[in-house]
Amino acid sequence: MSTPCKEVQTLSPQPPAPMAFESLCMELSNAGRLYLEKIASLIDQVAPSPGRLVYLHTTKLAMRLSGLQPVIFSAIDGATLMQVAQANFTMTFAAALSFVEFVARSFPFPIVEFKTLKVAPFYNPDNDQLQRDFPTLIGERGYVHSFVESHRSDALYSITSKMIFGGLSEGVVCPASPDELQRVLTQFLFFHNNSRFVPWLHGKTPIQKLRTFKCFQGTHSFSPLDEPEVRSSPASMRSLETKELQDDTTFHVHRDRI
C-alpha cells in the first residue's frame, strides 16, 4: 500500500524590509564619505601647500608609433593634484632627469620634494658607479627625493597613479604619430587640470584647489606646453578664451566648470 506524497513547500527568499535596505544604503554612503574625508585629510598633512610633494610616474602605452613603444612621464602635485606630462620613447635615466627639469619649469609654484617608486629609471638596482644615482642628481638641483616602497605603503601615490594618462585614457584615442600623441596628451592634461572634478579634493577641480591658496586666487586655468619657444618660461598660464583647446571635442572642457 503506497503512502500519499506529502507536499513539500519551498520558502522563497523574502526581499529585505524597506528600512533595512535604506539603512544599508546609508551605511555605505557614510563609509564612502568617511573614506573621502580620510584621503582629504591625508593630502592636507603630507602636502599642505603646492609643490611640497610631487609624485612622478611612468606608464608604457600598449600602442606602437613608428615601431617604438611610447612612455608617458607624469608628475602630479600632492596638494592640488595638478598634473604635467610628456610623451617619450625611452625610459632612461637621462629622460627622467630631463622630465624633472620640464616639471620644474611647468608648474607655477616651486617644488620641494619629488617622490617615486624604487624602480627604473628612478633607481639603479645594479649600483653602477659609472651612473650617478637619481636622488643625488635631484639633490644637486635643489630638490629632495624619496622613494615609495610600494603602492600599498603610500595611499596618495596609489591615488595619483590612477589619474595619469594611460589605461582607459589611452583607449579613447588612437594617435597615428608622435605629434598627435603629444597633442592628445595636452588635451587630456587641460581637461584634468581645469575640468576634472576630484572627490579627494571635496569635488573641486585641480585648478579650483590651486585657487584656494592666496598666491593663486587669480589663476583661471593651467595648461603646460612642451614647445621649444615656451620651455624657458615657468608655466603656460592660459586665459579662459583659449580657443584651440576649448573647441576640441576629444575631451569636453566646459567653461562653467572652471
Over residues 19-44, the pLDDT tens digits come to 666 676 666 666 656 666 776 777 77
Task: Determine the average pLDDT of the residues in 218-227.
Answer: 75
Please give the residue range of the domain that contains residue 220: 47-257
What confidence score (pLDDT) does residue 140 get? Answer: 92
Task: Identify whether 23 is part of a domain.
Answer: no
* Cβ count within 10 A of residue 72: 21
Listed residue (157, 245, 251) closest to 196, CA to CA? 251
Over residues 123-135, the pLDDT tens digits come to 877 655 545 688 8
Task: Determine the average pLDDT of the residues in 207-232.
Answer: 76
What confidence score (pLDDT) does residue 119 get? Answer: 87
What type of residue is 44?
A: D
CATH code for the domain of 233: 3.30.420.10
For the purposes of burial, counting CB atoms within 10 Å of the CB of 177, is it exposed (0-12), middle (13-18) or buried (19 or more)?
exposed
Are 207 and 222 contacting, i.e. CB atoms less than 8 angstroms apart?
yes
Over residues 79-120, the pLDDT tens digits come to 999 999 999 998 888 899 999 999 999 999 999 999 999 888
Task: Identify whether 108 is part of a domain.
Answer: yes
Task: Identify whether 87 is part of a domain.
Answer: yes
Q: How far, in whole angstroms, is CA 186 from its chain's centroid?
A: 14
Q: How many domains does the chain have?
A: 1
pTM of the model: 0.73
Listed residue (68, 115, 63, 120) closest to 94, CA to CA? 120
Task: Identify whether 6 is part of a domain.
Answer: no
Percent over 90 (pLDDT), the chain: 38
* Cβ count within 10 A of residue 59: 18
